[in-house]
Chain A
Amino acid sequence: MSTSHDDSAPGAARAPGFAVKETLEKDSRGAPPPLLEENFEFLGDEDIACSRYYSHEFAKKEMELMWGRCWQWACREEHLPDVGDNYVYNIGPYSVILVRSSEDKIEAFINSCSHRGTRILGGEGSGYSAQFTCPFHGWAWSLDGSLKELPARWDFPHVNEQTHSLQSVKCETWGGFVFINIDPDAKPLADSLDVLPEHFKHFPLERRRIRLHVQKVLPANWKAAQEAFMEAYHNFETHDSPSGADAQYDIFGKYVSRFIHHIGSYSVDSLEDYPGDKWRRPPLSEDDLLNILSVFGLDAKGIPEGETARSVAAEELRSKLGESLGIDLADTSDTIMLDSIEYHLFPHMFFFPGITVPMAYRFRPNGDDVDSSLFDLMILEPLAEGESHPEPPEPIRLEIEQSYTEVEALSWLGSVYDEDTGNLQLQQQGFKTSRKPGITLGNYQEARIRRMHMTLDEFLAK
């Protein structure tokens, strides 16, 4: 127990009781080295202006200077297995076509006809065509973007392949995700990934498949929406859960941050100044904790001598999920089996290396509406050894008023996501209600949110 802590400097204080790291150090299989790393620095304690969440002027700058110039994942490689497969990704006014133009090449183009501007492909998502043909006058391009057909060419002596091929968009892949950057002068993707390539060598996301893709409209600015997922501080009040007051937070650079929120264990002391006696007097027993973990589909009832709820749950999941996924999980650590480990990549992407908590998130503006956003939630299931990616499922679309519990495949997570997103409308309204001009952040637990705003400001200042 490390209850003593030099918390005199701002940002140095931590929750009382044992730290996540101490849980990870007791892992029955040894936690992967990146998860034992800690990386935190105090980033300041000034308020963040509320207007950033609702000002049209701010959103316009953000669209032009940030969304128009940052790397963002558009789709997964498994969306584009064959030559001619395409995917349309929209962000604000921008629309990009990604296409497998040859066996070993994915390219991206601005989704606009070089004749009179029409979007060549409507909507968003997966498609296929052997060439691109504009539905207005029938101009057509090869999959590599070169102008191919021009009906009534006699009328366009001023048009040729050099002047009117599709405009190329920068496109790179990492971890099975296909990223685009609308800025023709953008630096390589690797410059924006910080520690991700190094850390995810241990958790290869390219060897995952999309098991489920849910896309929902949320009633808040995209930043507020994603910020509801960047800290575990809300767990006590929002989820009625004992854990989260003691999560670990890391800042790895301008672009990448992380939390490790351990599941099936909590520090009773971390709740010392929380209201009431709940989960403190008396604290939950290991049996109580195992009972909470039963949402993972566990059958285990008792905890043998010398074991914990975590070790029992992890062991049962190793054999159960190992069998159903066709993967040998015998050496997989307790933390990867159980915990909510969340990496954030600027500006709006989240990757989870876990097996039971295996998500990827993306939060975007909903068109030009500052008060709503689009949340893409994917369950990325590990792929059995030697197995190739199956055809990915179409996204299930939920509108603003719908509940996650309508998606049966989400199971117990449906109500959790409803809780996570249930405060967003009140917060979006409250930004405008507040007499205080800014929101206040915790120095440690909410530092990832501050890091995101700092990097956003760097884009806006350019």
Chain B
Amino acid sequence: MEKVATLEDIPQGKTLCVEIGGKEVLLCHTSEGVFAIDNMCSHAAARLCEGKLKGSKILCPLHGAAFDVRDGSALTRPAVRPVASYKVSLSGNDILLAIPQ
């Protein structure tokens, strides 16, 4: 696990894109906690950090496709494939992430 941000960096309802292992990962702070998914949309590779978090959904800036940030599943067309999701741990205010392979 590697520290990638602190809770102060991401107010609830907001997202933060971090780079880890050469990969862009999107941290999403929802009312249910912090979740991490791939930053690239599985449909047309737009960057989800430029979209918007609504509840536990992230909406892609390009087509508006929705993903569940809790598990990366695709909720609406045109996205049909999930985005990868990563395990997040908290240590105090530190947000820790397992390095994606």
Footprint of B on A, CB under 8 Å? 82, 84-86, 121-123, 126-133, 135, 391, 394
Known contacts A391-B54, A394-B55; decide if A122 and B61 are in contact (CB<8 Å). no
Not counting A85-B52, A130-B62, a sample of 13 additional A-B residue pairs whose C-beta atoms are within 8 angstroms of each other reads A84-B52, A122-B76, A122-B77, A126-B54, A127-B59, A127-B64, A127-B66, A128-B59, A128-B64, A133-B62, A135-B77, A391-B13, A394-B55
Q: Which residue of B lies closest to A132 (CB)?
A: B64
Chain A residues whose C-beta falls within 8 Å of the C-beta of B50 in the assembled complex: 130
Contact status A131-B62, CB under 8 Å:
yes
Least Cβ–Cβ distance between A384 and chain B, in angstroms:
19
Closest 6 A/B residue pairs (Cβ): A129-B64, A135-B78, A130-B61, A128-B52, A128-B59, A133-B63
What is the CB-to-nearest-CB distance from B67 to chain A, in angstroms, rounded to a whole number? 12
Residues of A within 8 A of B63 (CB): 129, 133, 135
Known: A121-B64, A129-B62. A82 touches B76 (CB 8 A): no
Cβ of B29 to closest chain A Cβ, rounded Å: 14
Are B77 and A82 closer than 8 Å at their CB atoms? no
B79 to chain A minimum Cβ distance, whole angstroms, is 9
Instruction: Say yes or no: B51 contacts A123, CB within 8 Å.
Output: no
- The docked-state distance in angstroms from the alpha carbon of A124 to that of B22 is 37
Task: Give the residues in chain B near A82, CB-CB below 8 Å.
Answer: 52
Please tell me the number of chain B residues within 8 Å of chain A, measured between CB atoms: 17
Whether B27 sits at the interface, judged by CB under 8 Å, is no
Which residues of the other chain, B, contact A86 by a CB distance below 8 angstroms?
A: 64
Task: Answer whether residue B26 sits at the interface, using C-beta atoms and an 8 A cutoff.
Answer: no
Q: Does B60 contact A (CB under 8 A)?
A: yes
Q: Once the chains are docked, how many angstroms separate the CA of A123 from the CA of B44?
A: 20
Tell me which of B44, B51, B54, B66 contacts A130 (CB under 8 A).
B51
**For residue A133, which residue of chain B has the nearest CB?**
B63
Report the bound CA distance from A123 to B77 in whole Å: 9
A362–B59 Cα gap in the complex (Å)?
27
Shortest distance from the beta carbon of B3 to any chain A beta carbon, whole Å: 29
Could you pull out 6 A-B pairs where Cβ atoms are within 8 angstroms? A122-B76, A123-B76, A128-B52, A135-B78, A391-B54, A394-B55
Chain A positions within 8 Å of B51 at CB level:
128-130
Whole-angstrom CA separation of A411 from B77 in the bound complex? 35
A131 and B76 contact, CB distance less than 8 A: no
A131 to B77, CA, bound (A): 16
Q: Are B66 and A391 closer than 8 Å at their CB atoms?
A: no
B61 adjacent to A391 (CB under 8 Å) = no
Q: Which B residues lie within 8 Å of A133 (CB)?
A: 44, 62-64
What is the chain A residue whose CB lies nearest that of B66?
Answer: A127
Residue numbers in B under 8 Å from A135 (CB-CB): 63, 77-78
Residue of B nearest to A138 (CB): B44
Q: Which of B26-51 contact A (CB under 8 A)?
A: 44, 50-51
Chain B residues in 8 Å Cβ range of A84 = 52, 61
CB < 8 Å neighbour of A129 from B13, B55, B59, B77: B59
A397 to chain B, nearest CB (A): 14
A129 to B78 alpha-carbon distance, docked (Å): 13
Find chain A residues with CB under 8 A from B66 CB: 127
Residue among A121, A127, A131 with max Cβ neighbours from chain B (10 Å): A127
**Contact residues in B for A128 (Cβ distance below 8 Å):** 51-52, 54, 59, 61, 64
